[in-house]
Structure 1
Amino acid sequence: MNPIPYIDIHTHPFHKETDTIMVQNIYPGEGFAAFSGRNFYSVGLHPWHISTPAENNSSLQMVEEALEFDHVIFVGEAGLDKVCNNDFKEQQRVFEAQAYIAEEYQFPLIIHCVKAFNEVLELYKKMQPAMPWVMHGYNGSLEMTRQLAKNHFLFSFGMNLFKTNSKSVESFRYLPLEKIFFETDEYDGEVDKIYEQGASLKGISIELLKKECWDSFNRIEKSLLSRF
């Protein structure tokens, strides 16, 4: 029996193939690295990269075109960021467009959210999407976590789990295993170290955590096993 792999659900730099299944984020128009069988991709227009409506529309078209590649398995990261200087109304328009693209093409959505959880939740309630929405690099309050979890959101955790004063730790301990993923966005190490921290915080074995993440990944990406 093959060992259960680690899953890094959101990373930016390309990593050489290891025992980890990785979902590398790329932006519209970027090229793909050589596909190895374990490195997959998400494609989306990040709120930091919002430009003019015309340029954004062109990027959205490229997002749709990228979904034709069988190794692209998520839309995103897309989302809202009230800290960056880009026009928030245009951020909302572009995010909503990508949410509808994800729904139309039946792809899970990876979400970047900074100080805009209420707006993301409002759009979710408006759309009632069938496809999963995953909050990446999650660091929301416990109360917000409860609201999002009640509305079927999933959560990806990274380096904030190492910060004892982080809101992530409380939310991570609260959430059931079937709602949890891990990522190396903004983290220099490998995802196995974040799994180790997560297992310690939950008081469970790493193997159980790996199995739960693997099962969850296959629930939201049912065709994964046929791709490698």
Structure 2
Amino acid sequence: MFDFHRHFSKDKPLDTAFYCTSSINEWDQKAKYMSFGILANNFSIKVKDFEYLLSKKLEENPSFHVGEVGLDNRFNNLEEQILFFEKALLLSYKYNRIFTIHIVRENDLLINILKKNIKTLPKHIIYHGFNKSVELAKQLQKYNVVVSINPTCMKSKLINNIKELDKIGFLVESDWDNKTDENYREYFKTFSNDIKALEVNNFEVINNEFRTILENF
């Protein structure tokens, strides 16, 4: 099973995972599938410099993407987060790349931003670490968003409605952020098997289709 969201470790990157970054300090890493992102606790540059650096990276790496970039209620710089988020959203559209998003208690704000930018939305947006309602996932689907769930979802209410979520499609991820890959394969395999055991039929098809999208950049 392909892992649609994990982070770099000290070990050699795998070809079976989509590596996301959360700081510009990570942007020189290399993996077959990766993206350039920044989160609220890592704003070490101004938005205009972020725009320049991200544009440059996307031009130099035509098969790489954007993310994770977020709207996170835990930090008190939300106005600044919106500026970074909207810039990343626009560049994802401009360069036709996948955009991975990180959202913490700001789903209404997310939808408002997507509505406002409806004419310049990228074709594919991944909402990583999704654990909200099926209704929200359906609403987000209108804005080119596919949700991605990780092992923390097994403890959320969403898991009780996983078959309903399967009808609209979802991706699976590990969100692995340990220093090494020790136990990583077992961890992700166990999660993938747990999802399969819930008798969902569509998610493997969706995951394979989305991996094909990644491979065609």
Equivalent residue number for residue 207 of structure 2: 213
- What TM-score do you get using the length of structure 1 for normalisation? 0.77
What amino acid is aligned across from residue 152 of structure 2 in structure 1?
N
Question: What are the ranges of 5 or more consecutive residues in structure 1 without an aligned counterpart?
Answer: 1-5
The alignment yields a C-alpha RMSD, in angstroms, of 2.6
How many residues matched? 206
Check whether the contact 1:45–1:63 (CA below 8 A) recurs between aligned residues.
Answer: no
Rate the CA distance shift 1:168–1:189 in 2: closer, same or farther, 3 A.
farther
What letter is aligned with 2:208?
W
Identity %: 21
2:189 pairs with 1:199: no
Judged with a 3 Å threshold, the aligned counterparts in structure 2 of structure 1 residues 71 and 171 are, in CA distance, closer, same or farther, namely farther
1:16-95 to structure 2, matched below 5 A, reads 16=12, 21-26=16-21, 27-33=23-29, 35=31, 39-51=32-44, 55-70=46-61, 72-85=63-76, 87-95=77-85
Question: Gapped runs of 5+ residues in structure 2?
Answer: 178-182
Q: Distance in 1 between matches of 2:215 and 2:13?
A: 22
Alpha-carbon displacement from aligned partner over 1:107-145 (angstroms, at most 9, x marks no partner): 011000001111111111222214211100111133322
Matched residues in 1 for 2:161 and 2:26: separation?
A: 34
Check whether the contact 2:6–2:175 (CA below 8 A) recurs between aligned residues. Answer: yes
- 1:1-228 to 2 correspondences below 5 Å: 6-14=1-9, 15-16=11-12, 21-26=16-21, 27-33=23-29, 35=31, 39-51=32-44, 55-70=46-61, 72-85=63-76, 87-128=77-118, 129-163=121-155, 166-170=156-160, 172-176=162-166, 179-186=169-176, 189-190=184-185, 191-204=188-201, 209-219=203-213, 221=214, 223-224=216-217
Q: CA deviation at 1:171?
A: 5.2
Shift in alpha-carbon separation, 1:180–1:167, aligned structure 2, 3 A: same
- Paired AA for residue 215 in structure 1: E
User: In structure 2, do the counterparts of structure 1 residues 172 and 43 end up closer, same or farther at CA, with 3 Å as the change threshold?
Assistant: farther
CA 1:94 to 1:141, structure 2 compared with 1: closer, same or farther past 3 Å?
Answer: same
Structure 1's 33 and 167: CA in aligned 2 closer, same or farther, altered over 3 A? same
